Structure 1
Amino acid sequence: MTSSAQPWPRAVAGARQESKVRSYARLAKFDVYDYYLSILVVLSAVLFPAAAFDAVTVPALLLFLAGEVLVTAAMVALDDVTGYYDGSDAANYGPDTPTRRLLRKPLVAGTLTVAEAKWFGWLAASAGGVLWLLAAVISPHSPLWTVILLAVTFVLMPQYSYGVKLSYRGFQEAFLAALGLALVLVPYGLIAGEFSGFILVQGLIFGMGPLLFGVYSNTNDIEGDRAVGRPTMAVLASAKGNARFIGALSVAEFAFGALGSLTGLAPWWFVLLMLPTTALRAVQFRIGFSGDGDIMTARKLGFKVHRVSVVLLVLANLIAAATA
């Protein structure tokens, strides 16, 4: 269903009202800041040696971060517009899904209108694009591959569930991981001016974080996604096949670090440093799929695992710099 279709009926009449500012913050999902942590990974990678730390590094990274926040806010706001029109958010966040808070979906809760969400989305995307352009202009370097990747990222992010609707065309899982990778590679390229195999390994691991709480969400949202034709792996595969897919993704996250250490792209000790993430992924999988399973608890743990992973990536960069 396109955005010109008739809106889905309100899921809950008389939902508790709140301030517009709070509703816009919920629309932007500012409390889910996991993609924004990419800037910490990059900062730790370029911090040393101090003599090479350019005076514009911090301003450029801050501009990139601000743009990242705004473009991501646009992406999730427009995702909510599509989810409202096709009814998937009403199904996944309705009164019969007590593990979800309805107010997290302001359009379904009735605290914002579709017009307000669209205006917010496009204004945020435009402002974010300007900030990314400024970051590229003032950054110490601007290699062509970085500029192209930045432009592609900017164009594709609003298309996640709106416009081209990539997540409705079988690209959702790949998009979530690729976005995390791009949000590491681009700012690093702007500051360092070069490609780094170690940063590539870190970007791949970083991108697995959002993917690995996204696929648990998809497992919870199978019925709503199937009803609107959103072909996530959870919808397409059997229950056992979906569990195997998520298990394979968890193993792949470990494999990126292991292959990095084996090939020399990462220090030999990197895979050992990242073992706490691997152990937590095993716990997450057991919670989600052993016995009756508790998918939403496993999803919630996924946020914590990703944040632990970021801390370890930052530590890896600091250790690498200290032992160089």
Structure 2
Amino acid sequence: MTMPLSQGPLAPVDIRLRLGAYARLAKLDVWDYYLALPLAWSLAGFRPSALVPLLVFGLGTVLVVAGSVAFDDVTGYRDGSDAANYGPDAPARKLARKPLLTGELSEAEAIRFGWLTAGAGAGLWVLAFAVAPFAPLWTILVAAVCLASSVQYSWGLKISYRGWQEVFLVGFGAGLVLVGTGLSTGGVTGFGAVQAVLFGLGPLLFGVYSNTRDAEGDAAVGRPTVAAVLGPLGNKAFIAGLTVAEVSLVVTAAGLGPAPWWFGLAMLPAMGVRVAQLRRGVGLGDLLAARSFGLRAHRSTTATLIAVNLILLVGAGS
């Protein structure tokens, strides 16, 4: 369905429809990467001086991600992968999430939106560095890698079309936590690094289930996700390996690493959701339900990490 061309100034209802289309292009309903900022603030001990820089950095992150997913939609629209993955043969998918496919936005509008949001996001990141209490060189480098890789995810170098999709999904999330913590404290502890990796694994471990569902369409356009390359059995082994790796990181950090001894116990509910996700997706083949479990696991993991940091802060002050 295509939107009718306006013969004059847009009516309020038309403006709302256009704004809604752009919001769906930006995937504003998927906010899980943005949880990196409250996690970083908790790692900084909830310092008031870190709040404004993190808010600026967080708003910039929303815009950077909006630009990245807009470019991803343009590329998916051009190569036909979105039409294959969101077409009438996949009725469970929400076609409305793809305003290019519905005709609500044109390619030119989506590309313009991508550059404007990515550029504005980059500007806010620079402002965050300017007002932050700390700005070590490594945070600038990590932020630059996050920015470049997000814009180039499906555009320009198209790193997700060159076998780097899964690396980006975990690396971008971990990078946001590391940069946010560095801007707030000037450094990252060993336990902070563990939390950054656990946070990054969250988007990866719900993304791989979407990739499993989209494997045929991705393979057809030459997008070499693990699901498209390894086939069903290899992909199941990959997902199971990621789940085991996440649980092992929690156990190792609590037993041998920098986490408190009770960290593993605190993480039991979140890890239980993760195991349930594995059973639902790999064991029963219910990919959409497994993706939903992945969102819950990521959010519960982040909430648990913030609670753990608060407990450690209170304990240190008592």
Deviation at 1:47, TM superposition (A): 2.9
In 1, Cα distance between equivalents of 2:18 and 2:91: 24
List runs of 5+ in structure 1 lacking aligned partners. Answer: 1-12
State yes or no: 1:121 paired with 2:117.
Answer: no
Q: How many residues align?
A: 306
Deviation at 1:262, TM superposition (A): 2.6
Q: 5 Å matches for 1:230-249?
A: 230-249=223-242
CA contact (8 A) 1:15 1:110 kept: yes
In 2, Cα distance between equivalents of 1:109 and 1:204: 37
Work out which of the residue numbers 274, 279, 283 in structure 2 matches 1:281: 274
State yes or no: 1:306 paired with 2:298.
Answer: yes
Work out which of the residue numbers 295, 311, 318 in structure 2 matches 1:319: 311
In 2, Cα distance between equivalents of 1:126 and 1:135: 14
Work out which of the residue numbers 33, 36, 46 in structure 2 matches 1:35: 33
Query: Normalised by the size of structure 2, how large is the TM-score?
Result: 0.93
CA contact (8 A) 1:185 1:203 kept: yes
Per-residue deviation, residues 65-91 of structure 1 (Å, max 9, x unmatched): 000000001111100010000000000
CA contact (8 A) 2:45 2:309 kept: no
State yes or no: 1:227 paired with 2:225.
Answer: no
Q: Which secondary structure state, in structure 2, belongs to the residue aligned with residue 100 of structure 1?
A: coil
In 2, Cα distance between equivalents of 1:15 and 1:242: 40
CA contact (8 A) 2:44 2:184 kept: yes
2:138 alignment partner in structure 1 = 145
Per-residue deviation, residues 265-323 of structure 1 (Å, max 9, x unmatched): 211211221111211111111111224x2111111221111111111011111111122
2:88 alignment partner in structure 1 = 95
In 2, Cα distance between equivalents of 1:308 and 1:269: 17
AA partner of residue 31 (structure 2): Y
Q: 5 Å matches for 1:142-221?
A: 142-221=135-214
Q: Which secondary structure state, in structure 2, belongs to the residue aligned with residue 238 of structure 1?
A: helix
AA partner of residue 24 (structure 1): Y
Q: Which secondary structure state, in structure 2, belongs to the residue aligned with residue 19 of structure 1?
A: helix
Query: Normalised by the size of structure 1, how large is the TM-score?
Result: 0.91
CA contact (8 A) 1:91 1:224 kept: yes
In 1, Cα distance between equivalents of 2:110 and 2:62: 16
Please identify, of 263-272 and 64-73, the stretch whose mean Cα deviation from structure 2 is larger.
263-272
1:80 alignment partner in structure 2 = 73
AA partner of residue 165 (structure 1): K
Please identify, of 123-132 and 280-289, the stretch whose mean Cα deviation from structure 2 is larger.
280-289
Q: Which secondary structure state, in structure 1, belongs to the residue aligned with residue 68 of structure 2?
A: helix
In 1, Cα distance between equivalents of 2:131 and 2:203: 29
RMSD after superposition: 1.5
In 2, Cα distance between equivalents of 1:290 and 1:256: 23
CA contact (8 A) 1:64 1:132 kept: yes
List runs of 5+ in structure 2 lacking aligned partners. Answer: 5-13
CA contact (8 A) 2:195 2:305 kept: yes
AA partner of residue 258 (structure 1): V
AA partner of residue 100 (structure 1): R
State yes or no: 1:252 paired with 2:245.
Answer: yes
Deviation at 1:15, TM superposition (A): 8.5
In 2, Cα distance between equivalents of 1:136 and 1:262: 36
AA partner of residue 228 (structure 1): V
AA partner of residue 27 (structure 2): K
Deviation at 1:14, TM superposition (A): 5.5
Moved over 3 A (4+): 13-18
Q: Which secondary structure state, in structure 2, belongs to the residue aligned with residue 80 of structure 1?
A: helix
1:44 alignment partner in structure 2 = 42
AA partner of residue 310 (structure 2): L
